Amino acid sequence: MQLDEPVLLPRLCRVAVCGGTHGNELSGVYLVREMLKTETRREDGESASVLMVLSNPRAMQQCRRYVDTDLNRCFTHATLNGPVSDGTPYEIMRSRELNAMLGPKGSRAAVDLVCDLHNTTANMGLCFIAYSDSDWICLHIFRYLQKQMPDTPMRFIHFDVSNKESYSLYSIGKHGFAMEIGPQPHGCVKSDIYTAMKEGVQHMLDWAGYFNSGCLFEGGLVDVFTMVKNVDYPRDGETRNIMATIHPRLQDRDFCLLHPGDPLFQTFSGETLTYNGNEPLYPFFINECAYYEKGIALSLARKKCVTIPSIRAQTEEEEEQASEQSFASEEEE
Amino acid sequence: MSSGGNNNTKAAARVDAARRVAIFGGTHGNEMSGVTLVNLWVQNGAEIQRKGVEIKPFIANPKAVEKCVRYVDTDLNRAFTQENLSATGDDELPYEVQRAQEINRMFGPKGSAGAYDVIFDLHNTTSNMGCTLILESSKDAFNLQMMNYIKKAFAPASCLVLLNEHPLLKYSTSRSVAKHPVGLEVGPQPQGVLRSNIFEAMRVILKHALDFIELFNEGMEFPACTVEVFWVLERMDYPRDANGNIIAMVHPNLQDCDWEPLNPGDPMFQTFDGKSIHYQGSSTVYPTFINEAAYYEKQQAFVTTRRETLVASAVRKA
């Protein structure tokens, strides 16, 4: 393959925008509600069919993250296909409904792209979170948003989880990512955060339209933050209560490089605990409220520069040819 | 009628020493500074010891704290009405009503001579209110003198006083069981989150408050003074549609601008499709509790206040 030959990818015929996967992350709740009220049509290019989904209505009604269990951990193949009974938690039943609506995960019928909207109490700006560092669709959308919204701090976070183990709602689609924006307290909507999310989603849908109409998107470089590990709070051995807060010099400094020896926590008696890892890493999800119960005070990532190729949507003929070829190779098997 | 004259010639008002003081954390189970401080002091109360006074740290709503929610059945900080406190029904009553009755037995009865002298009630808010002390009466000289002492001790850092004496908007707080109720509200902090700067600020303010009590109990006279307060005027709800759904957010120009003047015509809300809604009042007000997460369900986007200077008479232990 020549370096300047674009990668050809199937069009994005069906795109899903999901809000309220966590019922108290309100920017996505209000944005999807608003989008359900107003239809958006595009003049140029072929519009994708856009599905607007409120993922966890019961949790939204109570303004809580979840009712029985975290919906955004219910999308592993095992959970989606395991046995159910009367006692099955609400969110697991809901994950199956969503899988039927937008999936099934892993099948040809799944939607082409899922964008799942989230908020965080951490000072992360706008982040894409994805399971792959080589999904060119997601990376190109990210790059497009960076260009369209230059004043918004934006990062691409990669969780290196296999398709088999992937657990989030956005893993249902053939392509998918979470759009995570903070800082916003849960249960609140801040206008600047809402506006950033609204613009981000609009630009994403614009991009899908241009892509589907055959535009060529030039390749380039994208910084990707790959999650390495989580760090928990120091806890009391018996009660498991936390014994320190995020250090004031680390609080709100998501994506500022943390070096060995830098302050990490401050105990209630004022002592500083330092980061003792053996390499500098990038912290994120610093002091995310929902992660206290998951044993996460912050996450740490390595940064690398990914080269993304030029891409273009397959024409209908190209799509047919590709489909015939894969059918033929399936027959051989 | 006296001719007014010099305040120095007036004798100080005599107020009983404060011998029994309580510090409530977790009246709302997800407001973490108070929960954490009280848990700390229950284990080791050395920091809050003062001569001549018994100081009791207390988790007001343990079930809500355990679940890290604001409340289980109903808001504890609205539950101390006379109706609730005298209700019968025991186990069938909502959890927080039962809890209010228990707190009233332990620290009250509300309105009686046997009630605790002072209750400090520790709260956090998602609003950008900084450090705020909340009073329920404009006539409690002891409390006003305490406010004056704390503000001076905390300076140059700011600590403002909010007064909610509004006949309709005033509510029955857990601290109202005591003779001298004092609310401490520090923000901005998301629910369920513990931020070190917010935690430390609350700790320092409480330290000054307890110092005041110790000095007062030792017989120090506090001369007449003035205290600037923000007096609650009205509650402003979000614009809603016919079904009661919120249709606009706090405007970016107002977000985080607690205590700053809001003038007639200033932007107040922004609809989800970007239109501004402006303040229609007839005079300048000072908004606070702007975008407090817990108040969406209470139909409150913010409260308006007016600035007023109260005069506190000199006080001395009786």
Residue B271 sits in a domain of what CATH number? 2.20.25.160
Same domain, B224 and B253: no
DSSP string, A246-268: E-TTTTT-TTSPBPTTSEEEEET
Give the confidence band of A39 by pLDDT, cuts at 50, 70, 90.
low
Pick the CATH number of A225-301 from 3.30.450.40, 2.20.25.160, 3.40.190.10, 3.90.25.10: 2.20.25.160
Give me the number of domains chain B comprises: 2
Q: Return the half-sphere exposure (C-beta side, CA atoms, 13 A cut-off) of residue B228.
A: 11
Give the confidence band of A100 by pLDDT, cuts at 50, 70, 90.
very high
Same domain, B135 and B243: no
**Placement of tokens 């408050």 in the chain:** B209
B chain contacts of residue A185, beta-carbon cutoff 8 Å: 126, 188-191, 193, 293
> Percentage of chain A with pLDDT > 70?
95
Q: In the predicted model, what is the mean pLDDT of residues B261-270?
A: 98
B63 within some domain = yes
**Placement of tokens 């989580």 in the chain:** A230
pLDDT of residue A1: 47
Q: In the predicted model, what is the mean pLDDT of residues B265-294?
A: 97
Residue A184's nearest CA partner among A281, A114, A288, A292 is A288
Same domain, B160 and B22: yes
B316 within some domain = no
Q: Is the pLDDT of residue A278 over 70?
A: yes
Q: In the predicted model, what is the mean pLDDT of residues B106-120?
A: 97
Q: Is the pLDDT of residue B309 over 60?
A: yes
Q: Is the pLDDT of residue A40 over 80?
A: no
Residues 121-150 of B with CB under 8 A from A: 126
Chain centre to alpha carbon of residue B193: 19
Q: In the predicted model, what is the mean pLDDT of residues A12-17?
A: 97
Strand pairing category for B276-278 and B315-317 = unpaired
Query: What pLDDT, in 10s, does the model give residues A112-125?
Result: 999 999 999 999 99
B267 within some domain = yes
Contact A77, A106 (CB under 8 A): yes
Q: Is the pLDDT of residue A67 over 70?
A: yes
Is pLDDT larger for residue B290 or for residue A332? B290
pLDDT of residue B169: 73
Query: What pLDDT, in 10s, does the model give residues B142-159?
Result: 999 999 999 999 999 999
Contact B183, B146 (CB under 8 A): no
Contact A118, A28 (CB under 8 A): yes
pLDDT of residue A47: 63
Please state, in angstroms and rounded to a whole number, the distance separating the CA atoms of residues B286 and B261.
Answer: 5
Query: What pLDDT, in 10s, does the model give residues B226-242?
Result: 999 999 999 999 999 99
Assigned fold of A12-218+309-332: Aminopeptidase (3.40.630)
> One-letter amino acid identity for B302?
F
Same domain, B17 and B34: yes
Phi, psi of A73 (to 5 degrees): -125, 10
DSSP H or E stretch at residue A321: helix A316-332
A223 to each of A118, A123, B246, how far by Cα in Å?
Answer: 21, 19, 38
Query: What pLDDT, in 10s, does the model give residues B180-204?
Result: 999 999 999 999 999 999 999 999 9
pLDDT of residue B4: 47
Contact state of A186 with B294 under an 8 Å Cβ cutoff: no
Same domain, B109 and B177: yes
pLDDT of residue B8: 53
Residues 55-114 of B with CB under 8 A from A: 68-69
Residues 6+ apart with CB under 8 A from A104: A80, A110, A172
Range of the domain at B255: 236-297
Whether A327 and chain B come into contact, CB under 8 Å, resolves to no
Strand pairing category for B267-271 and B248-250 = antiparallel
Same domain, B34 and B180: yes
Please state, in angstroms and rounded to a whole number, the distance separating the CA atoms of residues B70 and B26.
Answer: 8
B131 within some domain = yes
Same domain, B248 and B189: no
Query: What pLDDT, in 10s, does the model give residues A142-164?
Result: 999 999 999 999 999 999 999 88
A129 to each of A56, A116, A175, B57, how far by Cα in Å?
Answer: 20, 9, 12, 43
Please state, in angstroms and rounded to a whole number, the distance separating the CA atoms of residues B97 and A125.
Answer: 41
- The dihedral region occupied by B69, where left means phi > 0, alpha psi between -120 and 50, and beta the remainder, is beta
**In the predicted model, what is the mean pLDDT of chain B?**
95
**Placement of tokens 């219910």 in the chain:** A74
Contact state of B193 with A248 under an 8 Å Cβ cutoff: no
Contact B102, B24 (CB under 8 A): no
DSSP bridge partners of B230: B162, B307
Q: In the predicted model, what is the mean pLDDT of residues A129-143?
A: 97
Same domain, B197 and B166: yes
Question: Where in chain A are all domains bearing CATH 2.20.25.160?
Answer: 225-301
Tokens of A230: 């989580």
Please state, in angstroms and rounded to a whole number, the distance separating the CA atoms of residues A230 and B107.
Answer: 44
Q: In the predicted model, what is the mean pLDDT of residues B230-256?
A: 96
Contact state of A186 with B197 under an 8 Å Cβ cutoff: no
Question: What ipTM did this prediction achieve?
Answer: 0.93
Query: What pLDDT, in 10s, does the model give residues B124-135?
Result: 999 999 999 999
Whether A273 and chain B come into contact, CB under 8 Å, resolves to no
Same domain, B224 and B270: no
Please state, in angstroms and rounded to a whole number, the distance separating the CA atoms of residues B56 and A255.
Answer: 42
Phi, psi of B287 (to 5 degrees): -80, 150
Contact state of B192 with A266 under an 8 Å Cβ cutoff: no
Please state, in angstroms and rounded to a whole number, the distance separating the CA atoms of residues B277 and B268.
Answer: 6
Q: Which residues of A are annotated as a binding site?
A: 22, 25, 118
Please state, in angstroms and rounded to a whole number, the distance separating the CA atoms of residues B99 and B94.
Answer: 9
- Among B193, B197, B255, B297, the strongest candidate for a mutation testing the A interface, having the largest count of A CBs within 10 A, is B193
Q: Is the pLDDT of residue A48 over 80?
A: no
B205 within some domain = yes
Name the CA radius of gyration of chain B, rounded: 20
Whether A13 and chain B come into contact, CB under 8 Å, resolves to no
Q: Is the pLDDT of residue B40 over 80?
A: yes
pLDDT of residue B5: 46
Question: Where in chain A are all domains bearing CATH 3.40.630.10?
Answer: 12-218+309-332
Residue of chain B nearest A236, judged by CA positions:
B40
The B267-271 sheet, strands edge to edge: B248-250, B267-271, B276-278
pLDDT of residue A41: 46
Residue of chain A nearest B65, judged by CA positions:
A241
Q: In the predicted model, what is the mean pLDDT of residues B203-216?
A: 98
Residue B28 sits in a domain of what CATH number? 3.40.630.10
Please state, in angstroms and rounded to a whole number, the distance separating the CA atoms of residues B17 and A14.
Answer: 72
Same domain, B112 and B184: yes
B chain contacts of residue A290, beta-carbon cutoff 8 Å: 192
Query: What pLDDT, in 10s, does the model give residues B63-97?
Result: 999 999 999 999 999 999 999 999 999 889 999 99
Give the confidence band of A292 by pLDDT, cuts at 50, 70, 90.
confident
Give the confidence band of A301 by pLDDT, cuts at 50, 70, 90.
very high
Residue B121's nearest CA partner among B108, B129, B139, B133 is B133
DSSP H or E stretch at residue A298: strand A298-308
Same domain, B69 and B203: yes
Q: In the predicted model, what is the mean pLDDT of residues A49-66?
A: 96
Give the confidence band of A331 by pLDDT, cuts at 50, 70, 90.
low
3-state SS, residue B152: helix
pLDDT of residue B1: 42
Is pLDDT larger for residue A84 or for residue A263? A263
Same domain, B217 and B253: no
Q: What is the pTM of this model?
A: 0.94
Q: Is the pLDDT of residue A95 over 90?
A: yes
Q: Is the pLDDT of residue A88 over 50?
A: yes
How does DSSP classify residue A85?
-
Chain centre to alpha carbon of residue B71: 17
pLDDT of residue B66: 95
